[in-house]
Amino acid sequence: MAGIFATIVFFGSLLGIAVILFRKIPLLVELPETPKKFTFKKAILEFKAKIKTLNPFKDFSSEIFLQKILSKIRIFVLRIENKIASSLQKLRERSLRKKAKENDNYWQELKKSTKEEGKNLPE
């Protein structure tokens, strides 16, 4: 059964190829016998012509370009300002912690100094 099906598909494919060839034979006969030769100079000239026709800067607007550049600079400056502000805040917090530690020692040093003065007093 599978052999019969495969045979039918095979002959159907051959028939399809034959139909396509008979339709395309007139076009194949009209084709030139020798293809055009590729020349490097001609290819370069064609490439240059295509580049000249393509103008990527024809829609270029200097004002829009300037707006984009200035907005990017502004964002950059804002980011730097934010980092500077956070660093400044950290420095202030460190300074406050140091002052708090100094104030804690102040009373202890005052007690020590009064005890030492008390010892040095004449009795």
Residue 46: pLDDT over 80: yes
What ranges do the domains of the chain cover? Answer: 1-32, 66-123
CA atoms within 13 A on the CB side of 40: 0
Q: Where is pLDDT greater, at 14 or 62? A: 14
pTM listed for this prediction: 0.40
Instruction: Output b/e per residue, 76-95; b: 16+ Cβ within 10 A.
Output: eeeeeeeeeeeeeeeeeeee
The confidence score (pLDDT) of residue 45 equals 86
- Mean of the per-residue pLDDT values for the chain? 84
pLDDT band at 120 (very low <50, low <70, confident <90, very high): low
The confidence score (pLDDT) of residue 115 equals 74
pLDDT digit string, tens, across residues 92-103: 999 988 887 776
pLDDT digit string, tens, across residues 79-92: 999 999 999 999 99
The confidence score (pLDDT) of residue 113 equals 78
